[in-house]
Amino acid sequence: MSAPLLEVRGLSKRFRGLQAVDGVSFAVPRGGIVALIGPNGAGKTTTFNLIAGVIAPDSGNVLLDGVDITGLRPDQACHAGIGRTFQLVRPFGALSVLENVMVGALRATADMRVARDAACAILERLGLADKAEAPAKSLTLPERKRLETARALATRPKILLLDEVMAGLRPTEIDQMVAAFSALARETGIAILLTEHVMRAVMALSHHIVVLHHGQKICEGTPEQVTRDPQVLECYFGTSITPSPLEGEGGEGGTPKPH
């Protein structure tokens, strides 16, 4: 059993009276796809931001490939191998799609031609090749999401952090994204950590799920295990009900109600 790629140990962060993240620990294995789920306000995005270096934790560690990256700046975290997307997509509007991805690719190389080739390849993989010269601000939302992912991918990360990348997409678009990510993980061996509300995508993609609630981890396991766990069901639905597997097609836009 090889060492995990990403290890989060006892991560905690308090914001002025609110314990946003409370002693969260989990791991992402090499080539693994792990989903971080939980109701709104559970601390998912904060955990992401702690891992990616946007904010520094009060306590705890983040290890990437055995190296302690806790408290590094976001750009340093990127160099260490963290690639992240943002919940509200942030394209470089005035630049073309290709140029956007090249910015990412330039992390790994200063050679413009190499960066351009790498960027083109990634655009192909994510189905944006025909939009390469278009200004980024002209893209539709699903296209922007793919651009956001392509850009992060171009930095050659060891792990991809996807922050609610399925939000706002239609079912067919979700399926396309899921297929793209599955293929990506399979072909490149990249690890993925995603936070999601869209259960359809979570169930289809992830090998392992970690459930957060009020900043604490309340459960983790395979999708089947997690969806049967009474604690999980309680935090989503409020009362304990007969556990039944959450089917993919029933979970379309299945945003759990906040407490």
Partner 1 sequence: MRGVPVLGLSPRVAVALGLFVAAMLALPFFVNDYIVSVLVVVLFAAYFGQSWNIMTGFAGQLSLGHALYVGLGAYTSAALFVHFGVPPWLGMPAGMAVAAVAGSLIAALSFRFRVGGVYFALLTIAFAEFTRILFDHFKWVGATEGLFLPVANLAHQDLLRLRGSPRMFYYFLLALTLGALGLSHLLLNRRIGYYWQAIREDEEAAQALGINVFRCKVLAMALSAALTALGGGFLAFYDNNLYPDTVFAIGRSVEIITAPIIGGLGTLFGPILGAFLLTTLGETMTSLTSGVEIDGLKQWLYGAALLAIVALQPAGIWPWLRRVIGLETRR
Residue 5 and residue 14: Cα distance in Å, rounded? Answer: 26
The torsion of the CA quartet 130, 134, 140, 143, rounded to 10 degrees, works out to 50
Beta strand extents in the chain (DSSP E only): 6-15, 18-28, 33-37, 59-64, 67-68, 82-84, 159-163, 191-195, 208-213, 216-221
Within 71-90, the residues that bind partner 1 by CB under 8 A are 73-75, 78-79, 84, 86, 90
152 binds partner 1 (CB under 8 A): yes
Angle between helices 171-188 and 112-125 (to 10 degrees): 130
Minimum distance from residue 106 beta carbon to partner 1 (Å)? 5
> For partner 1, how many residues bind (rule: CB under 8 A)?
28
Other CB atoms within 10 Å distance of the CB of residue 145: 24
Q: State the greatest distance between any 2 C-alpha atoms of the chain, in Å, as a whole number.
A: 58
> Quick one: 32 or 91, whose CB is closer to partner 1?
91
Within 100-139, the residues that bind partner 1 by CB under 8 A are 102-104, 106-107, 110, 112, 115
List the x/- string, 154-193, binding to partner 1 by CB under 8 A.
-x--------------------------------------
The torsion of the CA quartet 68, 70, 74, 77, rounded to 10 degrees, works out to 10
Minimum distance from residue 159 beta carbon to partner 1 (Å)? 14
Minimum distance from residue 139 beta carbon to partner 1 (Å)? 14
Which residues, listed in sequence order, are joined to residue 101 by a DSSP beta bridge? none
Minimum distance from residue 195 beta carbon to partner 1 (Å)? 15
What is the contact surface with partner 1 in residues (CB under 8 A)?
A: 52, 54, 73-75, 78-79, 84, 86, 90-96, 99, 102-104, 106-107, 110, 112, 115, 151-152, 155
